[in-house]
Amino acid sequence: MDRCTCRLSKKIAFSGIVTLIALSSAHAFAQDESQAWLSYSDRTAHTMFPRDIRALGTSPIEQTAVEELKRNLSDAGAASRPAVAGETVLGTGAEIRKAYPHVPVPADMPPESYWMHASGSGDHKLLIIAGGDERGVLYGAFALLRSSAAGEPVDLSKTPLRSEPAMKIRWVDEWDNANGTVERGYGGRSIFFDNGHVREDLSQVNEYARLLASIGINGCNVNNVNGAAPFLTPGWLQGLKRIADTMRPWGVRLAMSVDIASPQKIGGLKTFDPLDPDVKAWWANKVNEIYAQIPDLAGFTVKADSEGQPGPASYGRSPADAANALANALAPHGGVVLYRAFVYNNHLDYNDLKADRARAAYDIFHPLDGKFAPNVIVQIKEGPIDFQALEPVSPLFAGLRETNSAMELQITQEYLGQQRHLVYIAPMWKRVLDFDLRAENRSTPVKQIIEGKTFERPLSGMIGVSDVGRDGWLGAPLAMANLYAFGRFAWNPDLTPEAIAAEWTKQTISADPQVVATVDKMLMQSWPAYVDYTGFLGTQTLTDITGSHYGPNIEASERNGWGQWHRDDAQGIGMDRTVATGTGFIGQYPPEVAKMYDSLATCPEDLLLFFHHVPWNYKLHSGKTVIQYVYDSHYKGAQEAAELGAEWATLKDKIDPALFEDERARLEYQAGHAIVWRDAIVQYFLKESGIPDAQGRAGHFPGRMEAEDARLTGYSVIDVNPWEDASRGKAVSCAEKSCSAEWTYNGQPGRYDIAVQYFDLQGGTAHFTLGINGNGIVSWAADATLPSRRPHGDNSTRYTMRGVELKPGDVLRVEGVPDGGDPAALDYIEIEPATTAPQS
Ligand code: GCW
C-alpha cells in the first residue's frame, strides 16, 4: 500500500458535517502553553466524532487513546460544538475484526499503522479506529484529532483513512545532563533530571510523551551523548525505569546514551576494549540488568572518539567493533544501537589545504559498510559539518548500502538563533529529505534511503535532537512548529513544510484563515532570512564556533583545529573541496552529484563557498560579484527579519494576547539582532576585501552616532572583541555608579525612531534611560538572558523608541546604570525617520 495514501491531507467527514472550526468570540484564551498543539482551545481546529468512546483491548496504550479522545471532548470549547451521537470504537485490527466482522478492516496492516472507517447513521453512527498494533490505535486517535486541521473534507464511510509511518525509528534525543542542565537546550532545565537524580515529579515527562505520541514519535533518548557513564549505575537505572514507565502508555520507548568506556569507568575493569571477552561479558550482564527493569528499552546511542569522548580508537578498534559489542548484548532483548557518525578530529591543521572535517564521517564509516551487526544503525547528521544554517547533504547516506542508517537533525536551534530567533527549520529539512544523491546513477533521494527503501535496509529512520526543558519545552512558542514538523516528516517525508506549518498553526494558534496564512508565511520566510543574515553562499553559520554558537564571530571558525573553516583573506573566500585541487570531499558523492558540485558552472550557488574558493570579485550567475552578494544578502536578511515583526503585528486582537505580546517582543529583538549580524559581517568583509559596496551602504550609517564620539560622563571607551561585533569596533563601558553619553542632533526637524544599541550582559541587570534636552523620555532594564559576560555580538541588543519629535540642537542623552557584572555598555544610537505612530 502506498504509505500516506495522501488522504491524511483531508478533513474527516462523518455523515455529512463532521469538521468544525470553532471561531466563537467567547474565548477561553488561557490555554496552558505546555499543551502546545494539543491545547484543544476553542480558537483552534477541531474534528467531531461520536461521543461514546471505548477501546476493545485493555492495554494501557489503547486506554490512553480513549482518554485522549475524551479529553478533547471535555476541553475548552467543546461545549460550543454540537455533539455527535453514536460510538467511536478503538482496537487493533484483530480486535475489530472479531467484534465487527462486517467492518472491512484491511488484512495487511503493518505495525504502528492505523485505519479509520465510519458507518451507520442517526444514533447508530460507528467510527472505527483500527491499529496495526496498539501504538497504531493511539496514532489513529491522534490522526483523528489532527484531521480537521489537515485539509479538504473526506467522507470516511466512502474513503477510509489509512496511514503507516515511513520510518521505523522515529526518536527524539535529549542532551540532558545528570545535574539537570541541558546541553544546547534553550528551554530551561531538564524535565528528567535534577542534581544527579531522576526528578521526583515526572508530570512534565508525561505531557512531553503525549506531545511526542501525537506526532508518531516512538522513542526518546533521555540523556546526553556526552558524559553518559553514570547513567548505567544501579541507582540511575531505577530512576530511568520510572521515566520508561511514564512514557510507556504513550507508546514512547526509552533509549539511553552510553559511554563506551563504561566497563572501565563504572565497571572496574582495566579495559574497555570492545573485543575483550571480559568487556563483552560486562556489557551482556549490564544489558540484562537494564532489561530486567525496562523490558522494552529501545536501545543505546553512542558518541565515541568524538569531541573528547572515549572510543574504540584507543585500542585500534573500529566503530563497527564497538557498535557490534553493544549490539550483541542488546540483540536478545530486541534493542538497537544508534552509533553516531559524528566522529572527527578536532585538531586538524589549518595550514594543510587538504585537511577537511567534512570528509571525516565518510572516510571513517564508508570502509566499514557491511561490517555492522543487523541491529546497529549508523546515525548520520544531515550535513557533513554540524547543523549549520546551510550545508550540503552528508554523502555518507549514499555511502552505506549494507548498513542501516538514520538521519540526525537538530530541533533545538543551536546554530539557528537558539530559539531567540524565529527559524522554522522544516524547509531546510525538506531540502535534505528530497535531495537526490543519485547513488548507482539512479534516483535515490535521501528520504528513501532513510526509509530503508533504496538499499532495502530493515531498520532506518530519523532522530531529532530536541533538548526540551521546563520553561515552555523549547522556550519559544513558535519554535514548537519545529518539533511538530520533525515528527510529521518522520511519519511521512513526502509532506510539505507549508502543509505542516498550516496544520500546526490551526491546532496551536488559531484556525482563522488570516492567522493561518500570516503565521505560515512568516514560518516559511524565517529560515531563508536567517541564512541571509548569518552565513552566505555556504559559509555556514559565521558564529563563535568554540563558544556560544550564537552571535557573529567570523574569525572564530578560522585558524583552529575544529575545521569549520571558510578560508577568507584579502583575495577571496571559500573551501576548495574539489577533487582536482581541493580536499577531495566532493569525490565522496556519487558521480553525478560530484560532477555537479565540482564544476563552478553547475554548483548550486547557495553552497558555492562550501565547495569552492573564489576571488571576491568572482561573478555569480546573476552577474553580481561575491562581495556585492555579501552586502546585498545581509541588508536583505535584516530587512526580512524586520518584516517578520510587521507581519505578526497584523495579528493583534486575533490571537491570544499573551502569545501575541510574547512573540512581538521576540521578533523585535530578532530584528535588532539581525542588524548586529548584518553590520558585523558587512564591515568585516568590507575591511577584508577592500571592495566598497556598490550601493554605498556598507560602512556608512547616516543616522548613527557612535558612543565613543559622544560627550561622555563616567563612560570609558573600550575595544570590543571581535571588533566586527561593535560599530567601528568600539563601545563605551561604565565603571561608575552611573554614566552618560550625550549627542547633539543636527539633522532635519521631524519625527524619528531612535534606536539605542547596548550590550545586555549576564551577571546583572543594568538600567538605561534615554532623554532629550534634560527630560527622560523612556527607561528600560537590560534583563534579557543572553550568552556571555563581556560585550560582543552575543549580547548586543537594540532598544527602539518610536515616533520622537526632534529638531536641530536637541541634546540626546543616554544614561546607563551598571548592575553586578553588567557595565551598561553602549555601542551607538541611530536616528531614522519614524516608521510608526508614537509609542504609547
Ligand atoms: O554541535 C555539537 C554541539 C555539541 C554536541 C555535539 C554532538 C552533544 O556543539 O554540544 O555535543 O555537536 O553532536 O555530539
Reduced 3-state DSSP string for 169-206: EEEEEEEECCCCCECCCCCCCCCCEECCEECCCCHHHH
Measure the CA–CA gap between 250 and 62, rounded to whole angstroms.
9
Look at ligand 1, atom 12, and give the residue with the nearest C-alpha: 386
Look at ligand 1, atom 3, and give the residue with the nearest C-alpha: 184
The average pLDDT across 193-208 equals 97
Residues 479 and 413: beta-carbon distance below 8 Å: yes
- What does the pLDDT read at residue 33? 63
Look at ligand 1, atom 1, and give the residue with the nearest C-alpha: 386
The average pLDDT across 316-332 equals 98
Kindly give the distance from the C-alpha atom of residue 525 to the centroid of ligand 1, in angstroms, as a whole number: 27
- What does the pLDDT read at residue 154? 74
Q: Is 30 a residue whose pLDDT tops 50?
A: no
What sign has the CA pseudo-torsion 614, 620, 623, 627? negative
Q: What burial letters (b/e) apply to 710-741, b meaning 16+ CB within 10 Å?
A: bebebbeebebebbbbbbbbbbbbbeeebbbb
Which atom number of ligand 1 is nearest to the Cα of residue 408?
A: 13
The average pLDDT across 352-363 equals 97
68, 176, 305, 386: the active-site residue: 386
The average pLDDT across 53-70 equals 97
Look at ligand 1, atom 2, and give the residue with the nearest C-alpha: 386
Measure the CA–CA gap between 375 and 366, rounded to whole angstroms.
18
Question: What digits encode the pLDDT tens for the residues 527-551?
Answer: 999 999 998 999 988 999 999 999 9
386 catalytic? Reply is: yes
Look at ligand 1, atom 13, and give the residue with the nearest C-alpha: 342
Give residue 32's pLDDT band: very low, low, confident or very high (50, 70, 90): low
Sequence-ordered alpha helix ranges (H) in 451-512: 480-491, 497-508
Sequence-ordered alpha helix ranges (H) in 248-334: 262-265, 277-293, 319-330
Three-state SS letters, 612-679:
CCEECCCECCCCCEHHHHHHHHHHHHHHHHHHHHHHHHCCCCCCCHHHHHHHHHHHHHHHHHHHHHHH
307 catalytic? Reply is: yes
Kindly give the distance from the C-alpha atom of residue 307 to the centroid of ligand 1, in angstroms, as a whole number: 8
123, 307, 440, 783: the active-site residue: 307
Report how many helices (DSSP H) and strands (DSSP E) the chain contains, helices first. Answer: 19, 32
- What does the pLDDT read at residue 41? 83
- What does the pLDDT read at residue 123? 86
Measure the CA–CA gap between 323 and 335, rounded to whole angstroms.
12
Kindly give the distance from the C-alpha atom of residue 322 to the centroid of ligand 1, in angstroms, as a whole number: 20
Kindly give the distance from the C-alpha atom of residue 50 to the centroid of ligand 1, in angstroms, as a whole number: 47
Q: Which amino acid does the sequence have at 284?
A: A
Distances (CA, A) of 526 to 651, 660, 665, 672: 17, 17, 16, 15
- What does the pLDDT read at residue 5? 32
Which atom number of ligand 1 is nearest to the Cα of residue 465?
A: 13
Q: Is 23 a residue whose pLDDT tops 50?
A: no
- What does the pLDDT read at residue 373? 98
Look at ligand 1, atom 7, and give the residue with the nearest C-alpha: 342
80 φ, ψ to 5°? -80, -5
Residue 56 has, within 13 A of its CA and on its CB side, a CA count of 21
Strand-pair category, 19-21 with 704-706: unpaired
Kindly give the distance from the C-alpha atom of residue 225 to the centroid of ligand 1, in angstroms, as a whole number: 8
Radius of gyration of the chain (CA): 28
- What does the pLDDT read at residue 669? 97
The average pLDDT across 752-778 equals 95
Pocket of ligand 1 (CB under 6 A): 175, 183-184, 225-226, 303, 307, 342, 386-387, 414
**Ligand 1: which of 307, 387, 411, 541 to mutate, most ligand atoms within 8 Å of CB?**
307
H or E stretch at 116: strand 114-119
Q: What percent of the chain has pLDDT over 70?
A: 95
- What does the pLDDT read at residue 6? 31
The average pLDDT across 418-429 equals 98
* Cell numbers at 208, concatenated: 512531553
Measure the CA–CA gap between 549 and 556, rounded to whole angstroms.
10
Question: What digits encode the pLDDT tens for the residues 253-299?
Answer: 999 999 999 999 999 999 999 999 999 999 999 999 999 999 999 99
Distances (CA, A) of 315 to 115, 260, 348, 775, 827: 51, 12, 21, 72, 53
The average pLDDT across 692-713 equals 96
Residue 308 has, within 13 A of its CA and on its CB side, a CA count of 5
- What does the pLDDT read at residue 759? 98
Which atom number of ligand 1 is nearest to the Cα of residue 549?
A: 9
414, 512, 632, 753: the active-site residue: 414
- What does the pLDDT read at residue 837? 55
Task: State the residue for C-alpha cell 548500502.
Answer: 401
Kindly give the distance from the C-alpha atom of residue 175 to the centroid of ligand 1, in angstroms, as a whole number: 9
Mean pLDDT taken over the chain: 94
Kindly give the distance from the C-alpha atom of residue 387 to the centroid of ligand 1, in angstroms, as a whole number: 9
Question: What digits encode the pLDDT tens for the residues 615-663?
Answer: 999 999 999 999 999 999 999 999 999 999 999 999 999 999 999 999 9
Measure the CA–CA gap between 633 and 440, rounded to whole angstroms.
37
Which atom number of ligand 1 is nearest to the Cα of residue 386?
A: 1
296 catalytic? Reply is: no
Residues 337 and 299: beta-carbon distance below 8 Å: yes
